[in-house]
Amino acid sequence: MSYAFTRMDEAKIADIQSGLTGFVSKPAAMTDRAARILKQIQEQEAVTKLDSEKDKLDKYAKLEVNDKMIRILLTAPVLFDPGEAVLKKETTLALDEIARSLKSLPNQIVVEGHTDNVPISQGKYSTNWGLSIARAVSVVDYFTKVKNLPSEKFIVAGYGEFRPLYPNDTPANCAQNRRIEINVIK
């Protein structure tokens, strides 16, 4: 390398030195890149953990992974009684498995509540929108208060009946639309 430097003109040597100086003096860029890579590894580990628990979760949840998020769909018959936002005991088993996978992730997690379009006629909630928000809050409360996940990771959203997966024309479709979605944002 020293011999090569003796054969170059001063302009080329200055260019090389400037490039090397720029490379060495950019620790922030290298740190950002390392952080992104670490985050990708953590996301992949979470997906792997969830996949390994698939047998336990299949009864309660569906896992979808794309380039924007990791989505976990939990259907309401397993989660809540009709018109209620209190988690059923059997639901906590599924949430325990999910919490273990989410614990190591630094990502934002959006917990969405969804309902069918059947109007609420009695009970604590006057609208499906209020019920969907209360259900999402119940899930976040479980993650943060019982499983000790950091509260600042979570965002709660309630969509009521306004984002159905299926037409609300059969009891089976209505049941599929009553759900919680846990979206880990990549």
Buried b (16+ CB within 10 A) or exposed e, 45-77: ebeebbeebeeebeebbebebeeebbbbbbbbe
Q: Which residues contact 29 (CB under 8 A, 6 or more apart)?
A: none
Q: What is the pLDDT of residues 4-23, one digit of tens each?
A: 545 555 665 566 666 655 55
Instruction: Decide if pLDDT at 86 tops 80.
Output: yes
The span from the CA of 181 to the CA of 132, in Å, is 11
Angle between helices 89-102 and 27-52 (to 10 degrees): 150
Asked if pLDDT for residue 26 goes beyond 70, the answer is: no
Query: Which structural domain, as residue segments, surrounds residue 106?
Result: 2-185
Question: What pLDDT score does 182 carry?
Answer: 96
Question: What pLDDT, on the 0 to 100 scale, is given for residue 61?
Answer: 83
Tokens of 43: 């996301």
Q: Flag whether the pTM goes above 0.85.
A: no
**Can you tell me the mean pLDDT for 128-156?**
97
Q: How far from 130 is each of 18, 93, 160, CA to CA, in Å?
A: 60, 25, 7
CA 37 to chain centre: 18
Contact of 175 with 76, CB cutoff 8 Å: yes
Q: Please say if the pLDDT value at position 79 is more than 90.
A: no
How many domains is the chain partitioned into structurally? 1
CATH number at residue 104: 3.30.1330.60
pLDDT at 5: 47
